[in-house]
Structure 1
Amino acid sequence: MSARRTRRLGQAGEDLAVEVLRRRGYRILERNYRCPLGEIDCVALHGRTLVFLEVKTRAGQAYGAPHEAVDRRKRRKLTRLAQYFAKERRLEGAPMRFDVVAVRWDGPSPTVEVFENAFEAVEDGW
């Protein structure tokens, strides 16, 4: 798959994920939040909890389940990004969690699975 097609698939997956999240009561605060440490796909409020979301989209099963791509290295990076976001917005004391949204586009219509509280903050990054 070309890089351009991969980017389009990822963007379509993020758009679909946000639509599903909104229907589930998430209030989207930021999409593609960027800072010197990198990027968070989506930041939202779910109730009173600040949620940092990683969206993974796959067109097939060749690379495994989408959520499996959020390995320890990625979790550590997301933890640091969340810390930066919270400090920047003066939200350090707010309850926080990390969710992963897995989007599969390998059939006639996409499937979206939300893994709430998918992982704990990585200790050496929080």
Structure 2
Amino acid sequence: MSQQRAKLGHRGEQVAADFLSASGYRIIARNYREKCGEIDIIARDGATHVFVEVKTRQGDRFGHPFEAITAHKQQQIQRTALLYLSRHGLLDEPARFDVVGVEFKSDAPLITHLKDAFTADAP
């Protein structure tokens, strides 16, 4: 990944974290990594653990940010979330997967938040 893309991604993740915090979410972790993948943001929305994938774009040349969440990426996020919940003794707690799209097309970023964007496959 180029340094410019990494900076854009980090900037988008910061905007998403600020947006979620302002919406009442409590940020638990950012860039949580396991061997099987990474989760951009782990947050709490009330009693629910929320695993958030952030996709950032500067324009629409590559489509809407949500279009980049492939089935393979969803599986990676699900496996990583399961490990997180297991390691923290939270397997019985409610959880969901959200996606936040951040588009920097003008002065102010356009933020789109899709709650419960996909569901976990049964093990």
Structure 2 counterparts to residues 67-82 of structure 1, below 5 A: 67-82=66-81
The aligned residue for residue 88 of structure 1 is 87
Aligned to 2:57: 58
TM-superposed deviation, 1:39 = 1.1
Q: How far, CA to CA, are the matches of 2:85 and 2:107 in structure 1?
A: 39
Deviation at 1:37, TM superposition (A): 1.6
Alignment of 1:8-23 (within 5 A): 8-23=7-22
Could you state the TM-score of these two structures normalised by the residue count of structure 2? 0.96
Secondary structure of 2:73's aligned partner: helix
Q: Give, in whole Å, the separation in 2 of the partners of 1:75 and 1:122.
A: 9
Aligned-pair identity (%): 39
- TM-superposed deviation, 1:16: 0.5
C-alpha separation in 2, matches of 1:101 and 1:12: 13
Aligned to 1:39: 38
Given residue 83 of structure 1, which amino acid in structure 2 is its aligned partner?
Answer: L
For 2:2, the equivalent position in structure 1 comes to 3
Q: Indicate if the aligned counterparts of 1:75 and 1:122 stay in contact, CA closer than 8 A.
A: no
Shift of residue 38 of structure 1?
Answer: 1.9
Shift of 1:107: 1.6
Aligned amino acid, residue 42 of structure 1: I
Taking the aligned partners of 2:38 and 2:74, their CA distance within structure 1 comes to: 13
> 2:114 maps to what in 1?
115
TM-score, structure 1 as length reference: 0.94
Aligned residues: CA RMSD: 1.1
- Runs of 5+ consecutive residues of structure 2 not aligned to the other structure: none
Give SS of 2:89's match: coil
The unaligned stretches of length 5 or more in structure 1 are none
> 1:36 offset after TM fit, Å?
1.9
- Where has structure 1 moved over 3 Å in runs of 4 or more? none
Residues 101-125 of structure 1: CA distance to partner in whole angstroms, max 9, x if unpaired?
00000122211111010111133xx
